[in-house]
Amino acid sequence: MKLQQLSLFLENRPGRLGAPLETIAKAGINILTLSLADTAQFGILRLIVREWDKAKQVLDDAGWVVNLTEVVAVDVLDRPGGLAEALAVLEGAGLNIEYMYAFSVRRGDKAILIFRFEDPDRAIQVLLEKGLHVVDGDELLSVVSC
Amino acid sequence: MAAQTHEAHRHTEHRIWDPDAETLPRDGIEALQLERLRELVTRVARVPFYRDHFAHREIGPHSIRSLADVRRLPLTTKDDLRRQHPFGFLAVPRKALARIHGSSGTTGRPTFVAYTARDLETWSNLCARFLVAGGLRPEHTAQVAFGYGLFTGGFGLHYGIERVGAAIIPAAAGNTRRQIEIMRDLDPEVLICTPSYALTIADSARELGIDPRSLPIRYGHFGGEPWTEDMRREIEDQLDIAAFNNYGLSEVIGPGVSGECPERTGMHIQEDHFLIECLDPETLEPVPEGEPGELVITTLTREAMPLIRYRTRDIARLYREPCDCGRRTTRMSRVTGRTDDMLIIRGVNVFPSQIEEALLRVEGTTPHYLIEVSRPGTLDEVHVKVEIRPELFSDRMDRMQALCERISREIHTVAGIRAHVDLVEPRSIERFVGKAKRVLDRRNLGE
């Protein structure tokens, strides 16, 4: 049920985002979604790609500091309050969200969100118990075209 | 593991190359130094700088009744050497010279250093002393990854190793991948280079997919730049070797002024050849034993270019109590800073070595760093750039910020200054094959 997310260290200066993206592009890897967290001085680029192991390898080889994190993809209704309802569930269960970002595709009336939890296994259990839909890797990859 | 290597080393290696000189009792050392100092005062009368000074103050061998009288003699600085460039300090005719080296020019225009055949002989022996103290044996092979050329490191160690009778691989500094290939092909037991280059070799091995601990090197002699005890642990852990410190400076002779024995409680000064003082750099008064001060060295036996009370700019401590290794010579601590690279930041004296010590307290912090000092308005600002390593990196921003804060706190604890910590990408800080340059002081630009 968990997805592998690549996280990459970047210096916050012009041109730094392009270089690693070019590296994975050259390896023929498409990005399904990404998020960039930054401070004035450095940034953390988080990527979801289909071939995460190959992407990690080419980024490692190119000298980037990159690690793998398990994240959880959750379907929420794409209407006002959809996300708030999901968050209420998580809050009710005392689950701490480290960070979250939206997936770039919609499925019908659903939007997909990516969550980073302190304890992803427990988060998945709670989400399922509360009737939320956790999107697993194969399912996610089947809805995106490349 | 490194501790075990060191322990193993300690039990088997306890020999003394030149027992007559190295185990001379205190009064014997001092009597020899006094005799040589008086003779030196006669010899340097050939050097205009000293002749003029002596004539002015009516100084001669008669002025030296005890070793304390060395303080009646003038100090010599690097600027004095530069003013007499190239050979104003020669005490022998040009035709008596056998070799000419140069100082590295780290702090300005390089100066030349001349040697007679006997000076080279002395130098080889001095290097042999610390090499043997650290474990070099005739059956060993040593890889010298110091620059050969005007720099004194390469040739000094080369001839010292030859004197001991061990085999030498004169690999010279640079071409790190080739250094590693050579090690794997030829199995040298000993590595000789600057401490920062030892870490560069370890880095490079990992990049090639080779575990640096699997390299054949068992121990190393490192010198040519100041380094810390933490950096020694890094080197020992990363390469699985025992690391020994040695000290010297080209103006005085090159490597061989002092070096560690297996006790590693300071570097034994070769006092039959060098008279060493430890002075407060401001007042020029001797500091109490064990206190930090600037080392001032008088070369007792150099023929070509003897120096009287040369101000090394190196800050260290002296210890006179005898060492368990049997040597009776005075020991010096590692060099903890230089009076000329001491940074004054908002009125606080800071040495780059303190920043390094702070960085190495944070586990996984790389030894590759750069200190940038600027003065954007009226106040000094310090940025310490630290290369990120995989073990330090987290996808969580709060952890990354906590890391910066922790480094900043350690710097404040050790050096007493507030510094901004800038995490930078791997290998974005320049690598060095010789002396590492750790400080970029932008405050004086345009002044």
Q: What is the predicted pLDDT for the residue at B231?
A: 86
A146 versus A87: which is more confidently predicted? A87
Mean pLDDT of chain B: 89
Q: What is the predicted pLDDT for the residue at B3?
A: 45
Contact flag B394-A67 (C-beta cutoff 8 Å): yes
Query: From CA B49, how far away is CA B83, in angstroms rounded?
Result: 10
How far away is chain B from the Cα of A143, in angstroms, using its nearest Cα?
26
List CB contacts (< 8 A) between A116 and chain B: 395-396
- Chain B interface test: which of A6, A16, A41, A118 (most B C-beta within 10 Å): A41
pLDDT of B104 > 60? The answer is no
pLDDT of B8 > 80? The answer is no
Q: What is the predicted pLDDT for the residue at A112?
A: 87
Q: pLDDT-based confidence at A57, cuts 50/70/90?
A: very high
- Mean pLDDT of the B371-398 span: 89
pLDDT of B446 > 50? The answer is no
Contacts 24+ apart (CB under 8 A), A98-106: A98/B396, A99/A35, A99/A37, A99/B396, A99/B397, A101/A33, A101/A35, A101/A46, A102/A33, A103/A32, A103/A33, A103/A48, A103/A73, A103/A140, A104/A32, A104/A33, A105/A32, A105/A143, A105/A144, A106/A78
Q: What is the predicted pLDDT for the residue at B384?
A: 94
- Chain A interface test: which of B425, B427, B431 (most A C-beta within 10 Å): B425
List CB contacts (< 8 A) between A16 and chain B: 425
Task: Specify whether the CB–CB gap between B141 and B166 falls below 8 A.
Answer: yes
- Count CA atoms within 13 Å of residue B390 on its CB side: 11
pLDDT of B376 > 80? The answer is yes
pLDDT of B261 > 60? The answer is yes
Task: Show which residues on chain A lie within 8 Å of chain B, measured between beta carbons.
Answer: 5, 7, 9-11, 16, 37, 39, 41-42, 44, 46, 63-67, 69, 98-99, 116
How far away is chain B from the Cα of A108, in angstroms, using its nearest Cα?
31
Using the CB atoms, write b or e for A40-54: b if 16+ within 10 Å. ebbbbbbbbbeebee
Contact flag B393-A116 (C-beta cutoff 8 Å): no
Q: pLDDT-based confidence at B4, cuts 50/70/90?
A: very low
pLDDT of A78 > 90? The answer is no
How far away is chain A from the Cα of B261, in angstroms, using its nearest Cα?
40
pTM over 0.90: no
Contact flag A39-B401 (C-beta cutoff 8 Å): yes
Which of A11, A44, A46 shows the shortest C-beta gap to B400?
A44
pLDDT of A41 > 90? The answer is no
How far away is chain B from the Cα of A65, in angstroms, using its nearest Cα?
5
- For the stretch B342-353, pLDDT in tens is 787 877 778 888
Paired sense of beta strands A42-49 and A31-38, if any: antiparallel
Q: What is the predicted pLDDT for the residue at B444?
A: 59
- Mean pLDDT of the B13-30 span: 89
Q: What is the ipTM of this complex?
A: 0.84
Q: What is the predicted pLDDT for the residue at B447?
A: 34
- For the stretch B195-220, pLDDT in tens is 989 999 999 999 999 999 999 999 99
Which of B389, B395, B424 shows the shortest C-beta gap to A69?
B395
Q: Which of A137-141, B82-86, B380-384 has the lowest mean pLDDT?
A: A137-141
Residues above pLDDT 90, as percent of chain B: 69
B206 versus B12: which is more confidently predicted? B206
Range picked from B73-82, B237-246, B376-385 for highest mean pLDDT: B237-246
- For the stretch A14-34, pLDDT in tens is 888 889 999 999 999 988 889
User: What is the Cα B97 distance to its own chain's centre?
Assistant: 26
B392 versus B348: which is more confidently predicted? B392
Contact flag A7-B389 (C-beta cutoff 8 Å): no
With a CB cutoff of 8 Å and minimum separation 6, the contacts of B392 are: B364, B365, B403, B423
Residue for token pair 């209420």:
A88
Q: What is the predicted pLDDT for the residue at B2?
A: 44
Size of the A and B interface in Cβ pairs below 8 Å? 50
Torsion of CA B146, B148, B151, B157, to 10 degrees: 60
β-pair partners for B113: B101
Q: What is the predicted pLDDT for the residue at B327?
A: 93
pLDDT of A146 > 70? The answer is no
Q: What is the predicted pLDDT for the residue at B108?
A: 56
Q: What is the predicted pLDDT for the residue at B366?
A: 64
Radius of gyration of chain B from its Cα atoms, rounded to whole angstroms: 22
Contact flag A9-B423 (C-beta cutoff 8 Å): yes
- Residue at A62: amino acid letter: A
